[in-house]
Each structure stands twice: as structure tokens, then as C-alpha cells.
Structure 1
Amino acid sequence: MTEVNTPPSPGGWTRFVTARPRLSLLVALVLTALAVVAGSGVADRLGSGGWEDPAAESTYATKALERGFPDSQPNLLLLLDAGSASVDDPRVASKARALAGRLAAEKGVTGVGSYWQAPPAAAPALRAKDGHEALIAARLTGDEKQMGETLDRLAPELRGTHGPVEVRLGGQIAVRHEMQTIIQEDLTRAEIIALPVTLVLLVMVFGSAVAALLPLGIGIVAILGTNAILRGLTSFTDVSVFAMNLTTALGLGLAIDYALFIVRRFREELSEGADPATAIGTTLRTAGRTVLFSALTVAVSLAAMLLFPQYFLRSFAYAGIAVVLLAAAAALILLPAALILLGHRVDSLDLRRLFRRGDRRASTGSGERSTAWGRTATLVMRRAPFFALGTTAVLVLLGLPFLGVKFGTADDRQLPASAESHIVQQHIREGFPGTPGAGLEVLAEGRATETQYTAYKERIAELPGVLRVEGPLVKGDFAYFTVQPRGEAVDDGAQRLVGDLRATDAPFDTKVTGTAAVLVDTKHAIGERLPWALAFIAVVTLFLVFLLTGSLIVPLQAVALNALSLTAMFGAVVWVFQDGHLSGLLGFTSPGSIETTLPVIMFCVAFGLSMDYGVFLLSRIKEEYDRTGDHESAVRHGVERTGGLITAAAVILAVVMVAIGTSRVTNTKMLGLGIALAVLMDAMIVRSLLVPAVMRLTGRATWWAPAPLRRFHARFGVSEGGTVPADRHDTGGENSTKDTNTRTDTEGATAPGTEPGTAEGTAADTATDADRVPTRG
């Protein structure tokens, strides 16, 4: 029996977001203005550190030394260059002592020492091998903000020519402060690059300038709102300045993704005859539900970084979760209100008409099928084994360089070669014995005799890889030794020396800190928590995809293929940034290692974005499969309907990430370019080739789930279509018609309103787009 399907009444959510669209937009405008005020100055409150584990031995020792022996932890180095003269020249020595005395008299400065004032045993470490350069070391006190303010105050007075010497500033605080300044400048430049290019691409995708401005507006709202949230978080916890890059990238990228999906579906409904209110209702029940699930999967991936103790990683979770949820909220609340008010005017200012002729439907990009994507899907499924094995082999091959990854710390080589602090540290690395300011410190706790200290010092000196040992400096029940490794501060030898020092017997408690010790502890903390983070991402993602599809196989496929899509990114990161290929073209100095926390960030962000596109594709495939029961036709239909959309979204997001990748800071460059590559590989290779090939190989078994899970999904699951058919009959594959204004009552069907159904399809209605809107025309 066939009957005309009556339009459903608007759901509660549709009524909520469209009841007073003008009021909704006005409230949004007010909240955005408040966010601008609340988020102002956020960059000045963000930190440039956070790589260390707060509970690690090295962190404890560092804080103890800062309290008990502040002079032992210099974080500011003044490199004095005497030109052709010797640093032992009386005029040079006199000026150097005067500069050191002047620095020691400044507020917020302690522990000033220099080559000209150091004990004889320590003096050689502060003098360059050629005798023309030497160092003044000091410690700036306070938190990161206070140290930065002190450096800003002192730098103009210290930097430059002072009689016979030229002074340049380096050291940990100078590196971090310069890095923070450059990141802020680069972020502004990235936004200036990304916004107009993104707008042009959106106009090319939509045709209409009005439609193109909507995603951009959603992105700006998400970014401004996240800045306000980060500003609030700085009152309670440390937040890294690097997180602002993620705010801009995801704010624009995901907001555009979500808005693309919703606006595209809205225009599709309008082109098929629906009035704006009905089109919004259908859009929210279909694309809106997909956007919500997509946002949850991305947020889950980012939330995994909260499991790590380093505030550098946690900051990316704060920024990422905030911007994802704000982008989704804006897309599901503000965008529908704007679309209700615009109606058919969403297609206004169709700029593509200036360049081509065509009918109204073609120029509006109303969502008609792309035959090119359909032909691609058909070809891939005909040769599914070839494409599945071939693309997998290529992705694995691209990821092989990651097997040679070496982990390190973020140092001055993150900065451009022209940065002052980079120049100073490079001079120290190349021209000074050992690495001044980057040795290992051993904190000794417990009263001991001079004989015991001497014996312990001798045992340290006998360890392989030790250049020299200085100390101890004793204060009450505490003492510390400085151990200078033979090689660089964080090379393999220095890391082995950390373990040797911690294993050396002593008649007192010892704690080891220093750059290499921090790296060892950071690697341990990440390695210990990484399995839990991966398990969290996998389990929650599997559950969310199951709720969307009702299948046990599809979630497993999604997680496996998403992980596989990241191999090219990780391989490229090692090949380019660790091994130094293309360093001249991209303008960076390779440190020979990858900062330890960065792969974690890149995995969480890229995996979330990959799931974002995966949810878009799977939801459309599931909707078609629920309607027809034809597996291959559903896969082809899903690729047809989303291939162009996903590719456009990926290209736009890649543009934003590449703009971030123009940063002069290597970590930021690596993050931007790496994720841009991952996004493009996922959209153009995995979604276009690997997913349809694998789904063709698994066939109808793709949608299998055991009976208990089918019952669970029937009660709690959702789908883009909102319903599941009474039986999954084959309607003829590519000849099946998507849009119909009828509903077929089949034997055994349940009553209308039954929850989305099981893998066998025991629910009532065959859901189509037209089923969810009034009869048209």
C-alpha cells in the first residue's frame, strides 16, 4: 500500500533554534562582543613552557634548587664578543665586570656570575675556545610573566655595543620570550593570510557570497569565544601560548566544515521545493545530527591530552575542546537562525555567474550528485582488492621514516636562524667547551661529611660521558653538584648519563635534573600514559560510531583506517623536520630530533579531524543503506554526495593549517604542515579510495552486529536519516530514486515513530529526504 506522507511537526530542537531567529542572532552578537572584551590580552597571559612533568624527579629537583640555590639555575646568558681582541684584555675585562655589576643591581635578578668572576675550575666553561667570546650568567626571578617583564626592561640597556664588546642575549628565558613574541606575530600573519583565501575558496564552493560568509562568521565566533575561555583558564592554571595556533586552525577549519555541511543540506532541501522552515527542520534532523556526532568524536580525540601531566599538552586539549564545542554550537544554533532569516536569499550574490552560464540549480550548488565521484566509487569497488592493498601499501611506505624517530626537547633551534637567542645558543654550542647552562644538576638531600661528598664526586667523575664535575655547594642539609656531559645537552650520551647518575650509590638521597633529565622524565611520562590515551580515544570513538551506524564492523574499520591515514604525516615529520630535508625551502633549522610531546598533539588533532570526515561519509552511507538495503549502492551514493564536500572542507582546512605552518617557529611549522598533509591524505586517499574498497570487500557484513547490540542501537542509536527501513530490500542500486513522496507499508512493519532500528531493519518507515519534508510541488 502506498500513501502520501504527511510532514512531521517540527521537533523541539528545531522550534528552539528557529522560534526567534532575530533574538538569537542579537544575543550571539552581544555574547561575541563580550568575548572580545573577555579575551583581550589573552596572549600576554599564556606561558611558553609546560613540557615537563610536574611530578617528575627532575621537576622536584629543579624547584628545590631554585629555592635553596637560586644561583645554580641561570636562565639568562649574556654573550660578550670582544671582536679581534681577547676576553682577557684589561679593557674587555673591566667593561665585562661593570656590566655584571650593573646587572646584579637590577630588581628581579640574582645569581650573577661571569668568566671574569668565576672560580678557576668553572671559568673555562664560560670562555670560548678561540678566546674572543665569554659569558655572563644570571637568573631572573618570578613566574614566566614577571621574568618576561624583567627581560623587556633590561634587554634594551644590555643589548648592543658597550665599549670594546658587543652584547647579545641568550639563555632559557630569552629563548622562551622570543619564541612567545614570534608566535604571536606569526599567528596574526596567519590569520591575515587564511581569512581572505578561505573566503575565496568558500565563494568557489558555494558560488554565493552570502552563503560563503556564513561559515566564516561561525569560525570567527568560535575563535573569539575560545580566546575568552582561555583567558579565564589562565586565572586557574597554566596555558601554553602554542594553544592559540590550534584555536585559530580548528576554529576556522571545523566551523567551516560544519557550516558547509549544514548550508549544503539546507540549499539541497530548498532546491527540492521545501520552504525555509521545513528545510531547516530536515537539515537539523540529518546534517545537524551528523555535525553533533562529528564534534563529539573530535572533542574525544582532543580530550585524551588531558590524561598527560604536561600543561603544554593539556593546553591543546583546553583550546581544542572549547573551539570544537563552540563551533558546533554556533553551527547548530546561530547558523539555523541566520538561514531562517535568509531563506532563498542564501543564494544571493552568486559570483560564479560572472564566469559561466548555467541554470539556477547548477549555479547554486544545491547538492546534486557528482558523477565524477560516483564513477570513482564504482571503479574502486570493482577493483576493491587492488585499491585496498595498494593504498594501504603506499600509506605504510610513507610512514616508514617514523621508525627512525628521535625524541628531543624544544630549544633555541625552534627559532629562525636570525633570532638573537638562537645565534647566542649556536655560538655556545659550537664555540664553548661542553654546553654552559645545560649541564646536569644533582641535588643531595641529607647531612653528610666532606669526605662523603668527595667520594661521591669521584664516583660521578668516573662515569662514562662525564666531562667534568663541579661542587658540591653545601647549604645546611642540602648540597648540589653540577655535571657537564661530554656531548650535547640532550644527546643519547647525556640521557644515558642521567640513568647512570640516578643509579650511582650515595650516602644521601639524590635527585637529578637538567635538560637531559627533563627529557628522560618527559619521555617516561608520555610513554606511561600514551596507552591509556589511545585506549580512551579508541573506546569512545568506537561507541560513538556504533551509535551512529548500529554496526560492529564499521566502527572498527573507521578507527583502523583513520589511524592508517596518519602514517604519511608521521613519516613526513621525521623525513623533513628531524632529518632536515627541505629545511632550506621551508626556512628552519633541524635539531636532529622531534620534540617529545608534538607527535601526541598531532595524532590527537589529526585523528579527530579524520573522524570528522569519516562521520560525514558514514552518516550519508548509512542513511542510504537504511533507505534501500543495497550496500554497494549506499557506498556509491555516500561518496557521490559527500566526496566534493569533504574534499572542499579538507582543502580549506589545509589552507588554514598551511597558513599556521608559515610560522618561523619550527614546532608550529611542523604542526601546521603536518596536519595539513594528514587532512589532505585522509580526504583524497582514504575517504575516496580506501574506505569504499574496504567496505566493498566486507559487503553486507559491514552492517552486522550481534543481537544484544542491535537491540541497544534500536533503543539508543541514531542515524542521519533518523529511521531504519522495515526490510533492507535491494531497490535496484543506481536506479533507485532517492527522493520520493511515498511510504511503503511492508508486512511486519512497526508503527510510525519507532526508534532507529536494527541491522536487519525491523523498524517501520523507509526514510527518505522527502519523507521528512512536506509533499513538494
Structure 2
Amino acid sequence: MSVLLYRFGKFAFRRKWIVLPIWILVFLGLGATAAAVSQPMEDDFSMPNLPSERATDIMDEHFPGMSQEFDFDAVTGTYVIAAPEGEKLTDPDNKAAVDDLVANLNKLDIVDHKQPLQNPVDTAEQMGCLGGAEGEQLQQTCSGAPLNVLNEDSPDTVAVLETEFTIAEWQDVTEADRDAAYDAADSARDAGLQVEMSGSLAMEEQAPGGSAELIGMGVALIVMIIAFGALIAAFVPIITAIVGTGMASVMIMLGTSVTSIPSFTTFLASMIGIALSIDYALFIVSRYKHELHVAPTREEAAGRALGTAGSAVVFAGLTVIIALGGLSIVGVRFLTFMGLGGALAAAFAVIVALTLMPAILGMFGKALFKPKLPIVAQHDPEDDTSVTNGMRVARLIGRMPALTLVLGIVVLGALSIPALNLSLGLPGDESMPTDSTIRKAYDIRTDGFGEGSNGVLQVAADLSDVPEDQRKEALDATRTELESHDDMDYVVGPMESKDGAGAVFQGVPKSGPNNQDTKDLVKEVRDAEDGLSSEYGIEYGVTGTTAIYADVDDVMLGSIVPYMALVAGAAFILLIVVFRSVLIPLTAALGFLLSVAATFGATVVIFQEGAFGLIDDPRPIVSFMPIMLIGLVFGLAMDYTVFTVTRMREEYVHGQAPLQAMMRGYHHGARVVVSAAVIMISVFSAFMMEEDVTAKSMGFALAAAVFFDAFIVRMVILPSLLALMGKSAWWMPRWLDRIVPNVDIEGEKITAMTAARSEPEPVVHTGA
């Protein structure tokens, strides 16, 4: 591989005015094609084969259309209405204001008028909840009332108005629809009522931002100016990042003509593409700068840089592709596309680095590392005689490797302890910004009906196998069972189907949708089915926001182990090929586990437990973050391993003693790894400026993971282990050595080939 890349590097450098136009034509051609054939992206968050689907199947059979509200793409909307402080919604003026709201909604085209909406105060009165019923009778009769008549502290002050819409899917909702639905309550607001909206209709589509990319580009430019000590060279990785990310985005757009692709696929691909393209460009340009000191020509330096650093880039990219592509085994569609989009971006980051980069180096020629910045360029890591900070740290590790190893492990181990308390949940209404109408609706509903009213359990019962004369008894027993659980606040129903063979209960928990007590309640209710089924023949399923959240959590948690086994196993084999060692890939994988555990611990402390007051509203960690974090960080961790250890192995193969090889390789690679890590941390940290707590937690976790893995695992723990293991670090069984292909990532064949060319021709004596 190294020889092939060496030859192509020289060709692309020399024939730059052929390679560059070809790239421009390909880029523009594919871009034009994508613009012509691409289709709108569609966000689909559905997950197949969840236990909650059993309830929706029963609903579809006995209550046609009822299950649609639990579809991730369904258009739902609920108005939550609060009376002014000290007043009630039953007061004549306030009731009249609600009448105006209902009248306005009944005039909207987007509202389904099959069943005209009714003032919730009137509904509560018709149910006999406004006088008459008391005590247990009031509880049984009015537990499902749309007015908070059961609230002992402030009754009749909050109401909910469930509204059905004619819009088929959430993706079809326009800004005009959203405004019309919200503005319909303006007359009620003018009368002094607080009216907020929840449901998918009120959820504004978050278009992928771009601020994080801009921040990342800006920081990257500054970091690369420092890394290269020159202005022009700092722009080369920016160019490759734009091209690589652009190509990945174009290919995703082309894919929309074949299948539906979620909109956030391009967002993740752009983040991964920018970060990796800059990383790989840093590695190759740094090596090119080194080769300029020893190679006879710039063309030769470009060839050697691509043959050595380019080979490392290939394997670094493969580890990322494996890690992100492996997300498809989870079986969750949006995760699959996020992973595939990121893997595609990683692939183009490699392709651009190997094919476009040498041509760009040729285009800039002698001007690449000019103008030099004297203060920044004073200590060059590619100069073996220069004493850099990297060399100083390497010498420190070499003097006391056991101490640095223990310190690194202790620090990460201590940070990992809070991860034992990790609790997962999906972002719901309670995680929305506090000034959004959805969050305000959640808070008002919580005050009026209790937090559990935001995550009602829908228990759909199938009575097909229950004799008709025993169905009432079976339903009564089911209700009694549901009410018996300590974490159940109250139960509404049953509502029986027209065919008499189905029924639906609504169980209102005491706690919110993401609370662990509520998730435990879902499990308890499901476990109770066996007893009821054996006695009466009744069967049921549980769905609703809380049940779906609990099911998604189980799927995510259950996927982590097989996912890690797949990506870690594949990457382990790949790294054996790269380093021709068993111990280095093993230590690299174990170090990754340490950095991920520390990341989970730090994230739990800040975002779940609310330490240091960095967030106002602590909550469970979003369910899909752990597996996404594992995929992304594993790929990046293996990147950093390849970048640091390949230079160490190269020094060892070329004759240096193990300890000296570690220090010299550290000296050469430290600035590249530090620069790459700083850029990654800056890009991911930009998410923390978002108002949404999920974006904050994701940004923090990714930035923390890169920090822990790059600066502690790859730059302290791994070099310490190499210093302690000595020659054993490069050991591999003979039988394995025979079957593992030699990819020559160190460029031994290039060295031998160039040395043979430089030898003088032997003198032939013909004799006198």
C-alpha cells in the first residue's frame, strides 16, 4: 500500500493541473446531478418491534384510528389553558374566553371537524364533575375530566383541549399552520387566560445550524497556524475539509432520490467530515513538512508523506467507518442513517486526503510554508534536533512510566464512578427550552393535573378470548390491578369498543415520563398480565409516551454490548494488521473503555445530578447518546492511536530502541494529536451554546470524551505502557505473523526503494 500511495503522491504532485480540474469537474458534476434529482428529506423516528406495538395492534383491531396518535410522525396538538391567578375557568368571563378559543379552532381548515370541539368546562359539567359527585364517586367519575376538578389546592383552574388535525404527517406541517394553530388562542390570551400548546404541531423543526461548523473552522485555522508556523499551510486542511464534506453531502442528496433520508444525516456528516478532513490533512501536511528536510525534491517529499502518513490515514479512516457503519446493527432507522452518513463523510475525508491533498501541495509549491511566523515556528516537531514540549513530556513519561500510568488510570477511574448512576430517557416536553410554548404547557399541566398527566399509560385490552358474560368482571379485575400499584396515581376507564371485544384504560402515573419510577411501573403493569390472562383470558398491551420511552431505553441499552463487540473486534483485527502487535491494539481498546466510562461519569454528574449549577433542570441522559458516543469516540480514539503509535513503530522498525522510539515518535506526533483534539473539542463544545439541554449534553459528552481519550489515554497511558513493555509491545506470535498481511504502514519498502535508487552504479572494469 505504501508504495502505491507513494507513487500516486508523486504523480498528483507533478500532474496537479490534471488532478485538480478532474476534482473540480467531478464535484460540480455530482453537485448538479444531486440538485436535479434530490428529494426532500424525511425525519422518521419510528422503531420497529417495540413491546408497546402490541397495544397499538389491539387498538387497530378494536378502535380503528386510535393508535395513530402514538405514531412518531403523527400530527398531535393539545391546548393547555390556565385561569388567571386567583380565578377559575368556571368563572363566566373565563368560560366565555374558552368558548371563543373553541369557536376559532372549529373554523380552522387544518382542524379535523368530524367531531366538533367542545369547551372542556362544559365537558366536565356534563360528566357531573361540577357539583353533585363527591369523595370516591367524584374520583371514579371525574378522573378523566379535561378540567382539574380533582386538584385539592386549586381546582377548576387548568384545562386541556385535545385537538385533532387533518395534516397527514408532522413533516407536512408548515410554519403558517403552526402560526394559525397558535394564534387561534389569541382572543383567550387577550381575555387574561394563559394558553399554551403541546404536541407535534407545536414543535418547530430544528434546521441544522452551522454555527458549530463555523466555530470549528475558525478554531481549526488558528490551531493550524500554530501547528505549521505558517499562514498558507493552515488553509490547506480547510480546503480539503470543504471539499470532503461537500462531497459527502452531495452523495447523501443523491441518496434521497432512491430512499427517504432523515434531515439530520447531513448535519452529523458535516461535523464528522470537517473534523476528520482537518485531522487527516494535519497528519499528511505535517509529515510532508518533515520530509522536506530529508527528501531531495518536493515531489519526492509529497510521495513519501503520502506513502507513510497516507497509509496511516487509510487505517484511521477505516476504524471510523467501522465504528459508525456498525450503528446499523442497532436496528433503529435514524441511528442507521446517522451512522452511515458519518461513515460516508469519513470515507470522503480519506479519499480527499489521498488524492486531492498532494495536488494542492504541488499547487502551492515553495509558497506553502510561507510566510513563516517566527515565534510560533521556533520549535519544529519535525526537526529531530528541536526540543519541543512534546519531547519534554515524552522524556518525563520515559523516566517514570509507572507513575504516569497509575495517575492516568486513577484520574479516569475516579471520574468513572458516577457512571454507575446513569439513567436514560428520551427528550420530551420537559426538556424543551423554558420559554417555549411546549415547555410552558408541560409545566401548567403538571401544576394542574400532576406530572404523570404528561405521560399517560394507554392500556389496550383484548377480550376476544374472554366469554361475554365474564368480560365485565375481567375489566373490573384489570382496573383493580392497575390501581393497586403504588406509583399509579389514578386510572381512567375502561372505554369499551363497539364490538365489545376490546377496551382501553388510561393509567396516570404519579411521576413524569422519564422518571425511573414510571418506567418501573410500566414493567410492573406488563408483568401483571400473566395472572389476569390465566384467570380470565384477557390480554393487554401498554403504550403511550412513557411506555415508548421505556421500550426505546431497553433497545438502546441492549444494543450497546453487541455493538461494542462488533466494532471493537473489527478494529482490533485492523490494528493488529497496522501495528503487527497484539498488545498495542488490546491496550488501545482498554484505554478507550476508560475514557468512555469517565465521559459517562462526568456527564452524569453535570447533566443528570446538576453538579456545579451548570444547568438549571437536571434530567436523565438522552437514550441514544451512549451508543452514539461510543461509535464516534471509538473511531476517533483509534485515529489518535494510529497517529501516535505509527510514528513510534516507524522509529522502532528503523532501528531505535523501544524507549527511544516511543520518545521520538511522541515528539513527532504530539503536536498533530493535540491540534486535532483541540479542533474536535472546539467543534463539539459549540453545541453547549444551544438552548436545548440535549444538544448541550451531547456537545459536552463528545468534547469531554475527546479530551480524556486524546490527552490522558493516548498521550499519557498508552506511551507509559509502551515504555514499560519495551520490546514486548511489538510482540506477535509467529503463526499470526505469517498470516497477517504486511501493509508496510511505516514505509520500509519506500525507504529500500529510494535507497536503491541513490546507490551509485557499480564500476565495470573491462581490463586492458
Common topology (TM > 0.5): yes
- Alignment deviations for residues 206-257 of structure 1 (CA, whole Å, 9 cap, x no partner): 2322211111122122332333344444566665555455333322211111
Deviation at 1:316, TM superposition (A): 2.5
Aligned mates of 2:737, 2:239 — CA distance in 1:
40
Cα displacement (A) at 1:108: 4.7
Q: Distance in 2 between matches of 1:40 and 1:426?
A: 46
Q: Which residue of 2 aligns with 1:670?
A: 697
Alpha-carbon distance in structure 1 between the residues aligned to 2:692 and 2:376: 43
Q: Which sections of structure 1, spanning at least 5 residues, go unmatched?
A: 1-6, 724-752, 754-764
How far is the alpha carbon of 1:573 from its aligned partner?
A: 0.5
Instruction: Indicate the RMSD between aligned Cα atoms, in angstroms.
Output: 3.3
| Amino acid corresponding to residue 495 of structure 1 in structure 2 | K
Q: 2: distance between equivalents of 1:138 and 1:537?
A: 46
- Which region of structure 1 is more displaced relative to structure 2, 428-437 or 281-290? 428-437
Q: Deviations over 1:252-303 (max 9, x none)?
A: 2111110001111112222334323212211111000000100011111212
Match of 2:356 among 334, 344, 360: 334
Alignment of 1:277-676 (within 5 A): 277-350=299-372, 352-353=373-374, 370-447=387-464, 449=468, 450-451=471-472, 452-470=474-492, 471-476=494-499, 477-503=501-527, 504=529, 505-506=532-533, 507-583=537-613, 585=614, 588-628=615-655, 630-676=657-703
What is the alpha-carbon distance in structure 1 between the residues aligned to residue 55 and residue 756 of structure 2? 65
CA distance in structure 1 between the aligned counterparts of 2:383 and 2:704, rounded to whole angstroms: 29
Partner of 2:136: none
Report the Cα offset of residue 412 of structure 1: 2.6
Q: Secondary structure in 2 aligned to 1:45?
A: coil
Contact 1:115 / 1:123 at 8 angstroms: preserved in 2? no
Q: How does 1:219-238 map to 2 (within 5 A)?
A: 219-234=241-256
CA distance in 1, matches of 2:752, 2:652: 11
Residues 384 and 280 (structure 1 numbering): CA distance in 2 closer, same or farther, change over 3 Å? same
Q: Deviations over 1:707-762 (max 9, x none)?
A: 1111123xx13233233xxxxxxxxxxxxxxxxxxxxxxxxxxxxx6xxxxxxxxx
Deviation at 1:670, TM superposition (A): 1.5
Find the residue that maps to 1:325 and give its secondary structure: helix
Query: Matched residues in 1 for 2:377 and 2:734: separation?
Result: 54
Q: How far apart, in 1, do the equivalents of 2:26 and 2:307 lie?
A: 26
The offset of 1:408, in angstroms, is: 1.7
Residue 75 (str. 1) matches residue 76 (str. 2): yes
Deviation at 1:326, TM superposition (A): 1.2
| Corresponding letter in the other structure for 1:594 | I
**SS of residue matched to 1:267:** helix
What letter corresponds to residue 134 of structure 1 in structure 2?
Answer: A
Residues 537 and 363 of structure 1, relative CA distance in 2, 3 Å threshold: closer
Compare 224-233 and 571-580 and name the one that shifted more. Answer: 224-233
Letter of the structure 2 residue corresponding to residue 116 of structure 1? V
Which deviates more, 206-215 or 459-468? 459-468
Other-structure match for 1:274: 296
Secondary structure of the 2:505 match is strand
Equivalent of 1:152 in 161, 178, 188 = 178
2:131 maps to: none
* CA shift for structure 1 position 444: 2.3
Aligned to 1:95: 97
Partner SS state of residue 436, structure 1: helix
Q: CA deviation at 1:431?
A: 3.4
Give the superposition deviation at 1:496: 2.2
**Letter aligned with residue 45 of structure 1:** M
- After superposition, residues 156-167 of structure 1 pair within 5 angstroms as 156-158=182-184, 160-162=186-188, 163-166=190-193
Q: Deviations over 1:61-101 (max 9, x none)?
A: 34764753268658312122332432112332233234234
Q: 1:236 to 1:63 in 2, by over 3 A?
A: farther
Relative to structure 2, which stretch is displaced further, 556-565 or 455-464? 455-464
- SS of 1:608's equivalent in the other structure is helix
CA distance in 2 between partners of 1:541 and 1:770 (Å): 32
Partner of 1:138: 163
With 603-612 and 25-34 compared, the bigger mean Cα shift is at 25-34
CA distance in 2, matches of 1:39, 1:327: 22
Number of aligned residue pairs: give it.
Answer: 712
- Contact 1:62–1:513 (CA<8 Å) still a contact in 2? yes
Distance 1:455 1:489, change over 3 A: same
CA contact (8 A) 2:230 2:377 kept: no
- Corresponding residue of 1:739: none
TM-score, structure 1 length as denominator? 0.84
Separation in structure 2 between the aligned mates of residue 631 and residue 153 of structure 1, nearest angstrom? 68
The alpha carbon displacement at 1:591 in A equals 4.2
Aligned match of 2:51? 57
Label 1:99 to 1:39 Cα distance change in 2 as closer, same or farther (>3 A): farther
Distance 1:557 1:104 in 2: 66
Q: How far did 1:432 drift? A: 2.4
Q: Which residue identity is paired with 2:49? A: A
| Structure 1 SS opposite 2:690 | coil
**Unmatched segments (≥5 aa) in structure 2:** 128-141, 761-768
Partner of 2:723: 696
Alignment-derived partner of residue 220 in structure 2: 198
How big is each residue's C-alpha offset from its partner over 1:323-362, in whole Å with a ceiling of 9 and x where there is no partner? 1111111111111111122222212343x24x6796xxx6
Distance 1:302-1:703 versus aligned 2 partners, 3 A rule: same
Where 1:336 maps in the other structure, the secondary structure is helix
Cα shift readout 1:595-652 (whole Å, capped 9, x = no counterpart): 1211111121112111111111111111111111521111111101101111111111
Secondary structure in structure 2 of the residue aligned to 1:481: strand
**1:250 corresponding residue in structure 2:** 272
Q: CA deviation at 1:165?
A: 4.4
Deviation at 1:20, TM superposition (A): 4.1
**Number of the residue aligned with 1:26:** 21
Secondary structure, in 3 states, of the residue corresponding to 2:79?
strand
Q: Which stretch shifts more, 268-277 or 363-372?
A: 363-372
> Residue 294 of structure 2 aligns to which amino acid in structure 1?
E
| Contact kept? 1:562, 1:610, Cα under 8 Å | yes
* Equivalent residue number for residue 133 of structure 2: none
Superposition deviation, residue 188 in structure 1:
2.6
User: 3-state SS of the aligned residue for 1:55?
Assistant: coil
How far 1:437 sits from its partner (Å)?
4.6
- Distance, in Å, in 1 between the alignment partners of 2:757 and 2:687 is 42
| Other structure's SS at 1:482 match | strand
- The letter for the 1-side match of 2:699 is G
CA separation in 2, counterparts of 1:709 and 1:404? 42
Residue identity (%): 23
Per-residue deviation, residues 309-332 of structure 1 (Å, max 9, x unmatched): 223422320221111111111111
Give the drift of 1:774: 5.8
CA distance in 2, matches of 1:676, 1:418: 27
Contact 1:290–1:616, Cα closer than 8 Å, also in 2: yes
Deviation at 1:486, TM superposition (A): 2.0
| 2:451 and 2:511 in contact (8 A); partners too | yes
Q: Say which is worse superposed, 684-693 or 546-555, in terms of deviation.
A: 684-693
**Which of 104, 116, 121 is the aligned partner of 1:116?**
121
TM-score, L = length of structure 2: 0.85
In 1, distance between residues paired with 2:4 and 2:50? 59
State the match for 2:139 in structure 1: none
Of the three residues 136, 140, 148, the one matched with 1:127 is 148
Aligned residue identity for 1:75: T
